């Protein structure tokens, strides 16, 4: 039987969608079925990691243009 | 233009050939991400400078870019190296070997000697108008704690969780093993989990 602390340390692999060996996957799944604390930990860790994800932003054209100009000027030196 | 379009072989060929409009598109779409990466290590003004230096270095090296990694990975590596160079000039070096930092798992104290929870996670309010993770105070608190992390943990968190890069790209950018990145990321997430859990209980950062 896995310990909760082991699940806490491997929960990242589940959140990251890592491919785990079959034995470990089954052991984690079995533990999660019977341990509500670890289920809660995993669910909340997922929520936290999803929250952190930033939106893809783009620069306004004129700001991008300034950077391009500076870059090309430097190259011209 | 979607970021995926900037990674096609046809687009990379235009860049390598010195197409100014193609370069401007890359700057437009990737600059905010590169600045985000640089700001994990540097103050805002220094980060701007590191990214500008990164663009100059990248523009110079573009004809030799072979596309072995994604363009974004290659650019991020250049910018992080510029940032590390700036730090080195000030006598600061970032270690990516987790054994060299004194941080431990922020949740370790919540387990008993048998490895079972002695202080299990509290139930977070995840939905409804008061949903914990949507609150502005919590957002500010997260930012404060991310800022206070060791540089290597903050950088791992930035590249993986905030920017969504995969482990191969992160290892390529930082020149470290995937297992080191995983340890740093785990420590960073555990810190934030502990912080959010405390916030749920006390409402304080």
Q: Is the domain defined by B98-202 classed in CATH 2.120.10.30?
A: no
Domain that holds residue A12: 1-54
Residue A18 forms part of a structural domain? yes
Instruction: State mean pLDDT over B23-30.
Output: 96
pLDDT score for B46: 95
- B187: buried, middle or exposed (CB in 10 Å: 19+, 13-18, 0-12)? buried
Binary contact (B116, A3; C-beta < 8 A) = yes
Q: Is B57 on the interface with A (CB under 8 A)?
A: no
- Complex-level ipTM: 0.91
**Pick from B196, B96, B105: nearest CA to B151:** B96
Give CA–CA dist B103/B149, Å, rounded. 10
CB within 8 Å: B120 and A8: no
The residues spanned by each domain of chain B are: 3-89, 98-202
Cβ-Cβ contacts under 8 Å, A68 against chain B: 20, 23-24, 27
Confidence of residue B1 (pLDDT cuts 50, 70, 90): low
CA distance readout (Å), B203 to A43, A45, B138, B197:
21, 19, 9, 10
Residue that has been written with the tokens 């596309």 in this structure: B67
Global confidence as pTM: 0.92
Chain A residues within an 8 Å CB radius of B193 = 41, 44-45, 48
**Nearest CB partner across the interface for A6, out of B115, B142, B164:** B115
Q: Express each pLDDT in B91-143 by its tens digit.
A: 888 888 776 665 678 999 999 999 999 999 999 999 988 899 999 999 999 99
| Residue A47, domain member (yes or no) | yes
Task: Work out the average pLDDT over B150-176.
Answer: 94
Residue A71 within a domain: no
Does the domain formed by B3-89 have CATH 1.10.3720.10? no
Of the candidates A53, A70, A71, which has its C-beta nearest B164's C-beta? A53
Q: Is residue A50 part of a domain?
A: yes
pLDDT-derived band at A76 (thresholds 50, 70, 90) equals low
- pLDDT bracket for residue A1 (50, 70, 90): confident
> What's the confidence (pLDDT) of residue B95?
82
Cβ pair A56, B5 in contact under 8 A: no
- Split into its structural domains, chain A has a count of 1
């Amino acid at each position: 039987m896995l310990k909760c602390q082991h699940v806490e340390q491997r929960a990242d692999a589940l959140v990251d969608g890592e491919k785990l060996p079959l034995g470990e996957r089954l052991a984690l799944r079995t533990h999660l079925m019977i341990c509500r604390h670890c289920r809660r930990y995993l669910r909340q860790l997922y929520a936290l990691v999803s929250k952190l994800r930033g939106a893809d932003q783009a620069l306004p054209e004129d700001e991008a243009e300034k950077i391009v100009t500076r870059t090309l000027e430097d190259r011209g030196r | 233009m979607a970021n995926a379009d900037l990674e096609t072989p046809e687009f990379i060929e235009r860049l390598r050939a010195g197409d100014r409009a193609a370069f401007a598109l890359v700057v437009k779409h990737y600059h905010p991400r590169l600045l985000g990466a640089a700001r994990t290590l540097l103050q805002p003004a220094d980060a701007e400078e590191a990214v500008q230096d990164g663009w100059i270095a990248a523009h110079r090296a573009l004809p030799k870019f072979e596309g072995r990694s994604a363009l974004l990975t290659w650019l991020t590596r250049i910018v992080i190296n510029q940032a590390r160079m700036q730090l080195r000039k000030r006598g600061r070096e970032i270690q990516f070997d987790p054994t060299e930092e004194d941080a431990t798992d922020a949740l370790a104290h919540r387990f008993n000697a048998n490895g079972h929870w002695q202080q299990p996670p509290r139930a977070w309010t995840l939905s409804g108008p008061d949903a914990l993770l949507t609150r502005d105070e919590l957002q500010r608190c997260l930012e404060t704690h991310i800022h206070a992390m060791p540089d290597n943990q903050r950088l791992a968190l930035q590249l993986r969780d905030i920017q969504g890069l995969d482990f191969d790209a992160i290892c390529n950018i930082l020149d470290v093993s995937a297992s080191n990145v995983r340890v740093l990321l785990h420590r960073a997430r555990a810190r934030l989990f502990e912080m959010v859990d405390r916030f749920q209980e006390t409402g304080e950062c």
